[in-house]
Amino acid sequence: MALSSLIPSRVKLIDVGPRDGLQNEKAPVPAAVKIELVQRLQDAGVKEIEVTSFVSPKWVPQMGDNAEVMAGMRRSPGVLYSVLTPNMKGLESALGSRPDEIVVFGAASESFSQKNINCSIAESIERFAPVVEAALAAGIKVRGALSCALGCPYEGDIAPEKVGELARLMKQIGVQRVDVADTIGTGTPRKAQAAIEATLRHFSIDEVSGHFHDTYGQALSNTLAALEMGVWNFQASVAGLGGCPYAKGATGNVSTEDVVYMLHGMGIETGIDLDKLVDAGKFISDFLGRKPNSRVATAILNKRAG
């Protein structure tokens, strides 16, 4: 019971739908649709949006229109726009688009690091160091994703110490805040708390966010476990966009609508209009030709239809 006093009264959500949600879509999503999605998210009151990534279009063709999307969106005051930059080339390409924040990503699992970015954890940090330094020098904020923090498709469970070590390395190169990410969605509440606790040895509570995938239906439970520790920043994806590449047919990102509904039901403010958020999710789902992967959106849309 003592933990409940740490639950924040306000939460800020980062919607990763335009980037993390759409990057694995096979059919191209036109820049105009991505721009409209960003617009609808900010109209709904989302204050942090992960817009795109500056990676080689050879690896992620869906993000090949990154500069066009950044140039075409109408920026809203008070909204933070972030982009993923995996290397120096990515950062150099991103600078002209004036992102507010860049995101670098490391893995708490050595096997995942090798298979995902072809280098060890230590080498990945060495690669990021000049990227972080250059971004900070350009007045751009830097966030680091601690991927596979609660489990790895190759190694299984990940020890909290490994998460803490990755957080320490990120801190060392100047990363300002980090996401504790359950990339494959296998984590459960105690694991989430242990990973966050390890991260808090190197970053303050205001510098840590939760990024939970819903592959095994644990994302809301893990969000609640993080809230009980005082975490007030979370990532989610509108309409639950983004599957999980390591579990066939499984859902990936937790849907923003489901997180918002839970938070509002707990009396926690988000500044987000749930109805407008559902509309944003319906817009992109209609374009993709499928239903929103959100229980809350489904319930609200059914209610409206009735």
Give the amino acid at 228.
E
Do the Cβ atoms of 197 and 184 come closer than 8 Å? no
Distances (CA, A) of 107 to 123, 151, 163, 227: 11, 10, 8, 23
The bridge status of strand 177-182 relative to strand 12-15 is unpaired
In the residue annotation, 119 being an active-site residue is answered as no
And the tokens for 291? 């239903």
Residue from 234, 293, 286 nearest 260 by CA: 234
Half-sphere exposure of 254 (CA within 13 A, CB side): 31
Do the Cβ atoms of 88 and 57 come closer than 8 Å? no
8-state DSSP, 255: B
Spatial distance between the Cα atoms of 34 and 184, rounded to a whole number of angstroms: 25
Give the amino acid at 303.
K
8-state DSSP, 67: H
Distances (CA, A) of 297 to 190, 227, 250, 292, 304: 28, 23, 18, 7, 10
Beta bridge partners of 208: 178
Per the residue annotation, which of 119, 148, 152, 244 is the catalytic one?
A: 244
Largest CA-CA distance found in the chain, in angstroms, rounded: 56
Beta bridge partners of 180: 146, 210
Q: What is the CA radius of gyration of the chain?
A: 18
8-state DSSP, 241: -
Task: For the beta carbon of residue 76, count every other beta carbon within 10 angstroms.
Answer: 16
What residues are labeled active site?
Answer: 244
